[in-house]
Chain A
C-alpha cells in the first residue's frame, strides 16, 4: 500500500492508509494530552508527512505502523520544542542504505507486528504498564517513579526487564 503511494502517487491507496492510521494517530495524540483540535492538526501533519516521505520508507527496517509511529512521535515532539533547533532526529538520517539490518531480521519484519502484540500479552502486568505509560501516555521515567512511588533505579530496571523480555520473545519467534 505504502509502496503504491510512493511509486505511483496513488491517492486511493493513500486514502486507505489515512482511514487506518489517522484515527489511531488522533487517539495517540489525545492520550498524550492534546486537545481534539491539536490532535487533528498533528494527524494532518503526520499523514502529509506519510505522503511526502513514502518513497523513503524501507520495509526491511520495520512495519508500516512503526514508521507512522516514529513520524507522529517526532512531529509531536517538534511541536513541543517549536522554538528550539533541537529537532527530534530521524534515525533514517543516520543510515547509509542497509548498513545494519541483518538478513534474517529483514525477512521476518512483516510478521513482527502481530508477534509484538503476542509478546506484549506475555510480559508481567507491571512491565506492560511501564510500556503503556511510556509509549502511549508520554510519562518520563522520573515521573513514572513519582507516580508509582518507586525509586528511579527500580523504574529503570523494570524498563530494562520489559525491553529485554520483549526482545527475547521476539527473537524466539523469529
Chain B
C-alpha cells in the first residue's frame, strides 16, 4: 500500500494538541495507524506539546493527593503493549467491536449509496460514518467545509486532485471543488468525518442531493 494523500499539517497539529473534534480525530487516527509518515509528523507535533507542558508554571498538588497516588501504586498493574494486526484500522475496529464491513447493518440512502453511522459520545459535534459507494458512480461537483476528512478503506476514487485509494485521506481546503468518480471494479468504502452537521455543501450532502432533494 502506497499512500499518496496525507493529513494537512494543520490537522496534524490539532490532532497532536488534542483539539481536533471526536469524529475528525477518529478518522485522523485511522489514517495515522496506516501511515508511518504521518505518525512521524504527529510525534514531532507532540514534542511541541511536551515542551509546552514542561514550560508551564507549577501548581502545587496537595499532599493528600501525592500520598494517595504513591499509595495506590501497588494496585496498578504494569500495562502490556497492545499489538493490533488487522486489515481494519485499529481505532475503527474498536468502534465496530470487531465486525467486518459485510456484517454491518448498512442503511441504503440512494441507489448504490449505503451509510453506516458510527457512535460518538453524547456531547460530540459532527458525525462519523462509513460510506459504501458502488463502482462507476460519479459524485456531484462539491466543495469542502474545511472541517471534513474522508479516508478510503476499500476501492478507489479519482478526481482532479488525484487518485484516492486505500489509506489515502482527503483533507482538502474549503476552496477545493471536485467531482470524484468511483473507480470501476470494487465498491468504494470510505470513513467520512465532519465537524458540522451534514448539510448540502458537504460530500455526503452533495452525494445524496439529487436523490433526496435536500
Contacts and interface: CB of A to CB of B under 8 A. Distances in A.
Interface of A: 11, 14-15, 18, 21-28, 30-31, 36, 39-40, 43-44, 47-49, 51-53, 55-56, 61-70, 72-74, 76-77, 80-96, 99-101, 112-113, 116-117, 120, 131-132, 134-136, 138-142, 152-153, 155-157, 159-160, 162-164, 166-167, 170
Interchain residue pairs A-B with the least CB separation, the first 8 = A66-B50, A84-B121, A23-B58, A65-B50, A116-B51, A134-B17, A156-B10, A81-B121
Most chain B C-beta atoms within 10 Å of own C-beta, residue among A28, A30, A163, A167? A163
Most chain B C-beta atoms within 10 Å of own C-beta, residue among A15, A81, A157? A81
Contacts of B121: 80-84, 86
A89 B54 contact: no
B73 A153 contact: no
B49 A70 contact: yes
B104 interface: no
Interface residues of B, number: 74
B206 to A, nearest CB: 20
Interface in B140-154: 146-147
Interface stretch (B19-27, B131-139, B157-165, B182-190): B19-27
B68 to A, nearest CB: 7
A141 B122 contact: no
A171 to B, nearest CB: 9
Contacts of A30: 59
Given A91-B42, A160-B9, A26 B78 contact: no
Nearest to B94: A85
Contacts of A139: 19
A123 B182 CA distance: 43
Interface string B3-19: 00000111011100111
B212 interface: no
B70 A86 contact: no
Contacts of B201: none
B104 to A, nearest CB: 15
